[in-house]
Amino acid sequence: MKKYIHMIVAAVLVVIVAAGLIYLLDNGGTAALLPEAAAAQAEPIDSLFGIEFKVIAFLFSLIVVLMLYSIVFFRRKKGDETDAEHIEGNTTLEVTWTAIPLAAVLFFAYLGGQSLAETLRADPRPEIISVIGQKWQWSFEYPVDSVAVDKVASPVMYMPVDKQSILYLSSRDIIHSFWVPEFRVKQDALPGGEDFVRTLRVTPTKEGVYYLRCAELCGQQHTTMIAEVRVVSEDEFIAWRNGEVAKLSDPVAIGQSVYENNCKACHTLDGTQGVGPSWLGLYGRQEALTDGSTVTADDAYIINSILNPNAQVVAGFPAGVMPQNYAEVLTEEQINALIEFIKTIVP
Amino acid sequence: MNEQKKGGFFSIGLVRGVLGYLVGMVIGLALVTGIRMILGLTPTTPWDPQAKTFFFIEGAYVAGAMLGTIGFMLSVGVVGDWLKWMRGIETPSHPTDAFEKGSKRYLSASFDHKVIGVQYGFTSLVVFMLAGFFALIFRTELAAPGMQFMSLDSYNTIFTLHGIVMIVAILLGVGALSNYLVPLMIGANDMAFPRLNAFAFWINIPAAVTLLSSILLGGLETGWTGYPPLSQTSPSLGMNMFFWGVYFAGLSSILGSLNVITTTIRMRAKGMNYFRMPIIVWSALATAIIGLTATQLIGLSFQMVSFERLFGMSFFGPENGGNPILFQHLFWFYSHPAVYVFVLLGLGTISELLPVFTRKPLFGYKWVALSSLAIALVGFLVWAHHMFTSGMESYLRVPFMYSTLLVAIPTGIKFFSWVATLWGGKLSFETPMLFVLGAISVFLLGGLSGPPNGTVSTDLHLQDTYWIVGHFHATMFGGFVFPFFAALYYWFPKVTGRMYSEKLGKLHFFLMLPAFYVQSLGQMQVGLLGMRRRIADYDPALAPQIEFTQLLVTIAAFVIGLAVLVSVVNFVVSAKRGKVAVANPWRSRSPEFMLPSPIPVHNYGDNPFEVIGEPYDYGLAGSAYVSIDPDRAPKLKEPPVAADPVPAGAD
């Protein structure tokens, strides 16, 4: 009789503790644990989190309450040298606690598959955004329908609210990863060109400013590889994009855009020490190189530094850090615009 | 026979080994540099740590590390017999140690599995404290927003080393438990291959030296996972030291596993069929099966990146037709099963100790035994859950989600069996039992935080965040750290012949458990809110939400460090001055407790025991497990033979 009393009391305690935790989760708990949800893709993920947290709460209560109960009520009496009851096992119990979890696991995997499918759902005619990661900044390219240019580049990611954007993720050097916590979904950005472009669909649902933070360790400056994401109304989005197109007639502005989208992470404009040499006063100055020679920073030198970064390394900086594939990334026109921009960076 | 080998400092194996490493290293550096000079290539570079050039080129340092490792192994004293066999000279079947006792014995090559077990255990604790020290450094940096005293570079190096050095510490701890316990618990007098055993232990030392030399050769910026293209293009020479250090440590795993499997299959006592082995031997067997078959993949994947760096090969470099995702498949094919190597013995320790401290049989022994094998098997089928965001084929994520969630089944069987063993038992709460109970709750937390990662859609949010860091620390503490301490306290009297201080043991526990909960829950919370892992500083936008938790987690880490120090003081002082222990302080049924403490050199000598009952039949009147049980077995014809007992405390 006594055995069953223990089982009943313990079972009741498990239910009380589990119910208490589940109640807390449902009433603000889960919401407090997660960042605000700002994308449609967050919905199926958050609802699955909700279920998962409750299952965790239940299972944790089950094992820990029974353990604590045993610690309190099944203590060895002082001086008692006898053993406890000789119970070796119970096949029915074993089968039950194998079969029920098996069914539960398969069910949850099924729910997981459904939830994944929801996040992958494709809307017709999404906004196209290319997301390009490189050590250690992000840049975003938007296709445009203008006579002069076919795309606009921006260091800030503008997204129209309540419309699905399809992000084409790629990297210029090593593996980075796209993640905005409020959007939930995450995807690595891979180097290697077309074959390695990966997509992510995001439908922002709340206007505001969010942060994209690289989520795959990418070396020294991984910590600060952050970009701003601005979710704006569709009208604002179109207005912004048109404005960017307009800017693209002035070479210095083009050069500045090239700088912000490709060089900003490592080269400062104000003289402070960065991963690479600062551009303050760069044009025309004498640079000391690692091989001991000195060279004038003229057009030829700057172009060579961009296309063959390891050929002439400035003294005090390591070789092998600057990406070596800018020849494929930047057009001649862009490089010339960049030089025009550099000429304006004087103290 | 009892004459201790005379010899000074330079007869100690470790000293010779280090000298051998230095000689080998110099030869390696000279060889590559010399060849380059002959070929007309630049032999050296300027010494400029800022520019990450260190006089000799990377290939020279790799040759130095390899020949250094070979030099160490030739000098420490483990290959002597093998070289003799190559020359046709016969040797005794079980080699004798150079030193009979004392600290020199433990610092030199020994072929006694018990000495090797202690060597593994001691080295594990030292390496564990080193890795913990690294953690305290970067946790101090993380306690407040903004960079306080570390550079981004040094931060990356320190957390990378924390990860890999901890992994080495855990592998050493697993080696300690397997090597010390398996022969004793199956009734064997040593492992099947004593020389291989010594070799497998000692190769960890040059491996660790090579690994740690990365600090001096440019640091590490990749995390312990070493993904290319970053690990291929990173300018640091330390990257290659990392690869080859891990490679040699992996070799230790493989060889040790071979030994455990052979010993378990071939050297069990009379009457010990597989389902009458102590349960921890099942864990050791399952662990060794994984170690023997999976470890090659991390060696392979690191070797491939090393060759990319040294010879310009392009396995993973897309610019030449390679694929970076391939690395991740190869790497995780080992590194996922590896986590079961880390925890199975800890889980086995829990199963082994619970019956002793509840005076009740292990509930469902057969199911628990087979669950270890099941975890090992299913563990091979889940690796790509580390790659849900990697860009591998999208549909492939679904089957891996199913297989990953399935691991919960055999793991659940263990949890339910443990609860059922506790239920209705007669519990006592000495230090080993406290750590077992702590381990169960902590591993539960770790295990339950797994399914959200194993489910693809929620993993999209969680991958590469502090939730993952919280998950794996909880599983590692629950599956290794807590049970390892339980095992250390439990077998301490048997190994040393003296009792540890129960007061300090309890202090250790009551500091470490709550601190660990704070750390774990804190990490999971900040991860959910958006903190990435492997970052030196938290994003300003996120700081207000997480900085207080970060401070708590740092404080918790220091409390854990303090707790570990308490245990080390306890072990060191008690070994010399603890109360002399009785042979069987826990009234265990297990065979090793029927021997005197410390255990004589030849274990059971010429009088191995016979298995005459089930291992965990507590509560069954008149039953004994082994024929040499003085309290339970029928009147023995002769008392258990203790060949050459070493008096307690003699050292």
Contacts of B197 (CB under 8 A, 6+ apart): B111, B113, B116, B179, B191, B256, B259
Q: What is the mean pLDDT of residues B608-615?
A: 94
At B4, list the tokens: 């201790």
Give yes or no for B142 touching A (CB within 8 A): no
Reply yes or no on whether the pLDDT at B546 is more than 90: yes
Sign of CA dihedral B389, B393, B396, B398: positive
Reply yes or no on whether the pLDDT at B330 is more than 50: yes
Q: What is the mean pLDDT of residues B568-584?
A: 96
At B593, list the tokens: 């407790």
Give yes or no for B320 touching A (CB within 8 A): no
Q: What is the pLDDT of residues B470-528, one digit of tens each?
A: 999 999 999 999 999 999 999 999 999 999 999 999 999 999 999 999 999 999 999 99
Confidence of residue B540 (pLDDT cuts 50, 70, 90): confident
Please answer yes or no on whether A321 and B426 come within 8 Å at the CB atom. no
In angstroms, what CA-CA distances link B127 with B132, B181, B298, B534, B555?
8, 21, 21, 21, 22
Lowest mean pLDDT among A77-86, A285-294, B562-571, B629-638: B629-638
Please answer yes or no on whether B529 and A35 come within 8 Å at the CB atom. yes
Between CA B419 and CA B402 the distance in angstroms is: 27
Q: What is the pLDDT of residues B392-416, one digit of tens each?
A: 999 999 999 999 999 999 999 999 9
- Closest to A108 (Cα-Cα) out of A168, A39, A48: A48
Nearest CB neighbour to B619, from listed A85, A109, A313: A85
- Closest to A335 (Cα-Cα) out of A286, A285, A262: A262
**A111 min Cα distance to partner chain B (Å):** 9
Measured in residues, chain A has a length of 347
**Residues 321-340 of chain B whose Cβ lies under 8 A from any Cβ of chain A:** 323-325
Mean pLDDT of chain A: 93
Reply yes or no on whether the pLDDT at A11 is more than 90: yes
Contacts of B640 (CB under 8 A, 6+ apart): B594, B595, B604, B607, B609, B628, B630
Reply yes or no on whether the pLDDT at B234 is more than 90: yes
Please answer yes or no on whether A83 and B618 come within 8 Å at the CB atom. yes
Identify the bridge partners of residue A347 per DSSP, sorted by sequence position.
Answer: none
Q: Output Rg (C-alpha) for chain A, integer angstroms.
A: 29
Reply yes or no on whether the pLDDT at B641 is more than 60: no
Write down the pLDDT at residue B51: 87
Write down the pLDDT at residue B1: 38
Between CA B354 and CA B616 the distance in angstroms is: 10
Write down the pLDDT at residue A36: 95
In angstroms, what CA-CA distances link B593 with B590, B601, B629, B640?
6, 15, 9, 11
Between CA B96 and CA B112 the distance in angstroms is: 8
More confident residue, A58 or B51: A58
Q: What is the mean pLDDT of residues B189-200?
A: 97
Give yes or no for B94 touching A (CB within 8 A): no
What's the N-to-C CA distance of chain B in angstroms? Answer: 17
Please answer yes or no on whether B318 and A113 come within 8 Å at the CB atom. no
**Residues 19-78 of chain B whose Cβ lies under 8 A from any Cβ of chain A:** 50-53
Reply yes or no on whether the pLDDT at A76 is more than 60: yes
The crossing angle, in degrees rounded to 10, of helices B238-266 and B279-294 is 130
Mutate to test the interface with A, among B461, B466, B482, B531 (most CBs of A within 10 A): B461
Give yes or no for B544 touching A (CB within 8 A): no
Q: Are B72 and B18 in contact (CB under 8 A)?
A: yes
Please answer yes or no on whether A187 and B222 come within 8 Å at the CB atom. no
Between CA B245 and CA B234 the distance in angstroms is: 17
Q: Locate all alpha helices (DSSP H) within B295-385, ordered by sequence.
A: 296-311, 324-358, 365-379
Q: Are B64 and B71 in contact (CB under 8 A)?
A: no
Give me the DSSP letters along B438-478.
HHHHHHHHHHHTSHHHHSHHHHHHHTTBHHHHHHHHHHHII
Between CA B605 and CA B639 the distance in angstroms is: 13
Kindly report the pTM of this predicted structure: 0.91
Nearest Cα residue in chain A from B521: A33
Give yes or no for B363 touching A (CB within 8 A): yes
Q: Are B142 and B177 in contact (CB under 8 A)?
A: no
Residue A73 φ/ψ region, left for φ over 0, alpha for ψ in the -120 to 50 degree band, beta for the rest: alpha
Q: What is the pLDDT of residues B367-376, one digit of tens each?
A: 999 999 999 9
**B540 min Cα distance to partner chain A (Å):** 10
Which DSSP state fits B105?
A: H
Write down the pLDDT at residue B636: 61
Write down the pLDDT at residue B646: 47
Between CA A250 and CA B437 the distance in angstroms is: 71
Residues of B in contact with A59 (CB under 8 A): 444, 448
Give yes or no for B358 touching A (CB within 8 A): yes
Of all residues in chain B, what percent carry a pLDDT higher than 70?
96
Between CA B551 and CA B543 the distance in angstroms is: 12
Q: What is the pLDDT of residues B127-151, one digit of tens each?
A: 999 999 999 999 999 999 999 999 9
Identify the bridge partners of residue A157 per DSSP, sorted by sequence position.
Answer: A229
Write down the pLDDT at residue B649: 41
Between CA B561 and CA B140 the distance in angstroms is: 13
Nearest Cα residue in chain A from B423: A70
Q: What is the pLDDT of residues A161-196, one digit of tens each?
A: 999 999 999 999 999 999 999 999 999 999 999 999
Q: Are B222 and B230 in contact (CB under 8 A)?
A: yes
Lowest mean pLDDT among B395-409, B561-575, B594-608: B594-608
Give yes or no for B427 touching A (CB within 8 A): yes
Write down the pLDDT at residue A53: 96
Contacts of B505 (CB under 8 A, 6+ apart): B430, B431, B434, B489, B567, B570
Confidence of residue B647 (pLDDT cuts 50, 70, 90): very low
In angstroms, what CA-CA distances link B101 with A193, A317, B194?
63, 54, 18
Nearest Cα residue in chain B from A70: B423
Give yes or no for B222 touching A (CB within 8 A): yes
Write down the pLDDT at residue B638: 58
Please answer yes or no on whether B529 and A64 come within 8 Å at the CB atom. no
State chain A's maximal CA–CA distance in angstroms.
96
Interface size, chain A vs chain B, as Cβ–Cβ contacts under 8 Å:
292
Reply yes or no on whether the pLDDT at B642 is more than 80: no
Q: Are B595 and B363 in contact (CB under 8 A)?
A: no
Write down the pLDDT at residue A147: 64
Give yes or no for B153 touching A (CB within 8 A): yes
Using DSSP's 3-state secondary structure scheme, residue B54 falls into strand
**A252 min Cα distance to partner chain B (Å):** 32
Nearest Cα residue in chain B from A58: B448
Give me the DSSP letters along A293-333.
-EEE--HHHHHHHHHSTTTSPBTTS-TT-S-S-HHHHS-HH
Reply yes or no on whether the pLDDT at A79 is more than 70: yes
Please answer yes or no on whether B461 and A109 come within 8 Å at the CB atom. no
Contacts of B53 (CB under 8 A, 6+ apart): A318, B45, B46, B47
Reply yes or no on whether the pLDDT at B5 is more than 80: no
Lowest mean pLDDT among A116-130, A199-213, A265-279, B427-441: A265-279
At B166, list the tokens: 């901890």
Nearest Cα residue in chain B from A64: B441
Confidence of residue A253 (pLDDT cuts 50, 70, 90): confident
- Closest to B433 (Cα-Cα) out of B502, B371, B511: B502
Between CA B198 and CA B117 the distance in angstroms is: 10
At B202, list the tokens: 């000692």
**Residues 622-641 of chain B whose Cβ lies under 8 A from any Cβ of chain A:** none
Between CA A62 and CA A24 the distance in angstroms is: 17
Q: Is the backbone peptide bond immediately before B598 cis, with ω within 30 degrees of 0?
A: yes
Please answer yes or no on whether B463 and A186 come within 8 Å at the CB atom. yes
Q: What is the pLDDT of residues B62-110, one digit of tens each?
A: 999 999 999 999 999 999 999 999 999 999 989 988 888 888 999 999 9
Write down the pLDDT at residue A318: 86
At B110, list the tokens: 């020994």
Reply yes or no on whether the pLDDT at B650 is more than 50: no
Q: What is the ipTM of this complex?
A: 0.92
Sign of CA dihedral B156, B157, B161, B162: negative
- Closest to B358 (Cα-Cα) out of A320, A283, A125, A87: A87
Nearest CB neighbour to B620, from listed A86, A115, A185: A86
Reply yes or no on whether the pLDDT at A70 is more than 60: yes
Confidence of residue A316 (pLDDT cuts 50, 70, 90): confident
State chain B's maximal CA–CA distance in angstroms.
82
Nearest CB neighbour to B539, from listed A80, A196, A213: A213
- Report the DSSP pairing between strands A226-232 and A157-160: parallel
Residue matched to tokens 């590194």: B335
Residue A191 CB neighbours (<10 A): 22
Between CA B169 and CA B135 the distance in angstroms is: 14
More confident residue, B641 or A68: A68
Q: Output Rg (C-alpha) for chain B, integer angstroms.
A: 25
Nearest CB neighbour to A63, from listed B402, B419, B457: B419
Q: For residue A312, report the phi and psi dihedrals to the nearest 5 degrees.
A: -130, 95
Please answer yes or no on whether B401 and A317 come within 8 Å at the CB atom. no
More confident residue, B204 or B636: B204
Write down the pLDDT at residue A23: 95
Nearest CB neighbour to A184, from listed B360, B366, B461: B461
Which DSSP state fits A159?
A: E
Sheet order of strands, A151-154 included: A151-154, A137-143, A127-134, A165-171, A198-202
Mutate to test the interface with B, among A63, A114, A183 (most CBs of B within 10 A): A63
